Amino acid sequence: MPKPVSRILVINDEHLVLREFVKGLNAAARSLDNPLGVTFSGVTTAKEALAAIEADGDIQAVLVDDTLYTLGKHNGSRQLQVSALDLVQRITRFRPELSVYILIAQEKEDDVVDALFTEAVDGYFYREERDYRGIYRILNAQIQERAKTPFYDQLKNYVWMAKDQWHTPGHSSGESLRGSPWVNDFYDFMGEHVFDADLSVSVPMLDSLMDPKGVIAEAQHMAAQAFGARRTFFATNGTSTANKVIFQTLLAPGEKLLLDRNCHKSVHHGVVLSGAHPVYLDSALNRKYGLYGPVPKKTVLQAIRKHPDAEALILTSCTYDGLRYDLGPIVEAAHAKNIKVIVDEAWYGFARFHPEFRPTALEAGADYATQSTHKVLSAFSQASMIHVNDPDFREHLFRENFNMHTSTSPQYGLIASLDVARKQAVMEGYKLLSRTLALAKELRAQINSTGVFRSLELEDLLPEELRHDGIRLDPTKVTVDISGCGYTVDDLQKVLFERFNIQTEKSTFNTLTLLLTVGTTRSKVSRLYDALMRIAREKRAPRRLVRTPEIPAFTKLRYLPRDAFYCGGELVPVLDDKERVNKALARRVCADQIVPYPPGIPVLVPGQLITRDIAEYLASLLRSQKRMEIHGVVYEGYQPCVRVLRVEEEKGLRPLG
Ligand SMILES: Cc1ncc(COP(=O)(O)O)c(C=O)c1O
């Protein structure tokens, strides 16, 4: 098993002193207990320090002497100097997860300690004391503290205690399966710890997700520190539930919410549950590739100006395709009107741990961020985090809503995986993400070298209206133009799966998107490259690719989505007996959310007016040869129908102005 390596960088501008410190500290590390493999190395200038921190992902802490450092040449002549605190700021801006200690002279104690209070500094030592063993012990303890997994450790402890179970779950540590001639294979396949770590809320040692005061509270607190939040909550039903919990906390029925129409369907479900009055913002469309991008900054800022009475704004950043907003100015404009900002970071949970991806939503000032830790870090599916930085956070209300959506029997393996994913992100996130970024760069170049496939860059992905919005691309989401390969996208996915054992993430009619994560390896990259190269060499003539029709523009919201959804309604067929568009659908009000998938954007939401264009759009999807999921369409026998409000039901509702 690989052993941890923890390097501590000592920064001191005097060569001799530095050498003595590094020698003394390494001797202490060798002679004392050292489970994390701590070693010390030294540099004398700020430039070297920053370069080492950038290059060496095993650096876990820095010990900075409080002096002036040279950073490099200024205006080609004079040396630029920075103070220790300035250097610390640069270091923590680059890698906020690092522990930082300062070496000070005793006589400067008051000044330095005052300054430290405002900085991300963990502590200080007196330079003159040269207490190497003491310094080592403290630094080592600090790294061990960050590497703790309070919930996971307790779960293991409990499992090893092997208590007799007189409680749920029914499989009782897998006993019900292990001896069974019928289902013991399931036990063997899943592995013993899946069962013995599947425990019940009846075990007080394991704390309660609904009222955390012990190891879950501790694990959540450590996650908050790691992700730069005031508070963090573990969600065991994905970001889908996380979004709903926040909506129900922030929005009372009838209160306004500004939202990207392209938000995930959980956001639209949250609108129904909370009773919010949604104001939909249209996302920009890249017509060439059928990709829906962020909402233009102008549109968001206009909406904020036009609806200063809105309670909240929610945006997705980054999007599925890796496009991320320049959030700072948007958050600032929203906060100026007292509008809370929620950012759905389902695809961006790792961003805090590499400067290439920052600022995160919280760093840009967002009040809430929801992250599918399971999508991009090492947590189990459904394990997500809700980060809160809202200065007006109403904890009691949040707790009520959180508990409303949380099973009273949460899966403890999921909670442990969140604890472990946080530890990994803090201890080796920078290193793994540096590798992922390098692999993404390599893969992009390899894809382009096939001469047939092309990886799309920011300029290719951005629709015209977003060009000046400061949008950036997360390079670990690789969208590939497949239009020259001679296959339709469905056929290409089939070939990749059947011939080359490769399953991709998502597609449009002429693109495939590949997701690189901290789990992507070089051999996986080579296998994909090999497959694409072989397909390219087959030199097929390009196929005509059929565009998915564009989603019609939003029409009008007649009633609150919640009011419309809870009407009984009636089913109206989309097509008539002759397979023509049913004229009776136009002018009616939809009671459900109708979502063609992909791209997953609702064509209709509850309360929305159906027009002839929309009816025609739905009919064209239903008639098309390409099998497409259309969530919300109901079949009465063979007839696809949409649930709409009855005329008398409409009379009982208050129309929106
Ligand atoms: C933008 C966005 N938000 C939220 C979700 C839901 O996340 P989860 O799968 O964790 O419930 C998804 C899932 O694909 C998503 O794409």
What integer pLDDT is reported at residue 463 of this predicted model? Answer: 92
Q: Which ligand 1 atom is the nearest neighbour of the CA of 319?
A: 1
Distance CA 515, CA 319 (A): 12
Distance 261 CA to ligand 1 centre (A): 15
What integer pLDDT is reported at residue 115 of this predicted model? Answer: 66
What integer pLDDT is reported at residue 306 of this predicted model? Answer: 98
Q: Is the CB of 311 under 6 A from ligand 1?
A: no
What integer pLDDT is reported at residue 75 of this predicted model? Answer: 59
The answer to whether the CB of 605 falls within 8 A of the CB of 514 is: no
Tokens of 66: 């409080």
Distance 262 CA to ligand 1 centre (A): 12
Distances (CA, A) of 261 to 283, 285, 385, 548, 600: 7, 12, 23, 18, 10
Nearest to 50, CA basis, from 71, 29, 28: 71
Could you write out the three-class secondary structure of 254-310?
Answer: CCEEEEECCCCHHHHHHHHHHCCEEEEECCCEECCCCEECCCCHHHHHHHHHHCCCC
Q: Is the CB of 346 under 6 A from ligand 1?
A: yes
| Averaged pLDDT for residues 55-60 | 97
What is the reported pTM? 0.95
Q: Is the CB of 234 under 6 A from ligand 1?
A: no
DSSP string, 36-87: T-EEEEEESSHHHHHHHHHH-TTEEEEEEESSEEEEEEETTTEEEEEEHHHH
| Averaged pLDDT for residues 562-578 | 94
**368-371 and 340-344 strand pairing:** parallel
Distance CA 254, CA 229 (A): 29
Distance 480 CA to ligand 1 centre (A): 22
Q: Say whether pLDDT at 498 is over 80.
A: yes
What integer pLDDT is reported at residue 292 of this predicted model? Answer: 87
- pLDDT tens, residue by residue, 196-210: 999 988 899 999 999
What integer pLDDT is reported at residue 127 of this predicted model? Answer: 87
- pLDDT tens, residue by residue, 421-480: 999 999 999 999 999 999 999 999 999 999 999 999 999 999 999 999 999 999 999 999
Q: Is the CB of 266 under 6 A from ligand 1?
A: yes
DSSP string, 348-410: -TTGGG-GGGPSPTTTTT-SEEEE-HHHHSSPPTT-EEEEE--TT--HHHHHHHHHHHS-SS-
Q: Is the CB of 260 under 6 A from ligand 1?
A: no
Confidence of residue 103 (pLDDT cuts 50, 70, 90): very high
Q: Is the CB of 384 under 6 A from ligand 1?
A: yes
Which residue type, as a one-letter code, is found at position 253? Answer: P
| Averaged pLDDT for residues 575-588 | 91
What integer pLDDT is reported at residue 108 of this predicted model? Answer: 66
Q: Which ligand 1 atom is the nearest neighbour of the CA of 372?
A: 10
The total number of residues shown for the chain amounts to 657
In this structure, the residue with its CA closest to atom 7 of ligand 1 is 239
Q: Say whether pLDDT at 7 is over 70.
A: yes
| Averaged pLDDT for residues 643-647 | 97
What integer pLDDT is reported at residue 77 of this predicted model? Answer: 61
3-state SS, residue 210:
coil
Q: Say whether pLDDT at 106 is over 80.
A: no
3-state SS, residue 330:
helix
The answer to whether the CB of 454 falls within 8 A of the CB of 275 is: no
Confidence of residue 506 (pLDDT cuts 50, 70, 90): confident
Q: Say whether pLDDT at 626 is over 90.
A: no
- pLDDT tens, residue by residue, 262-315: 899 899 999 999 999 999 998 998 989 988 889 999 999 999 999 999 999 999
Half-sphere exposure of 504 (CA within 13 A, CB side): 27
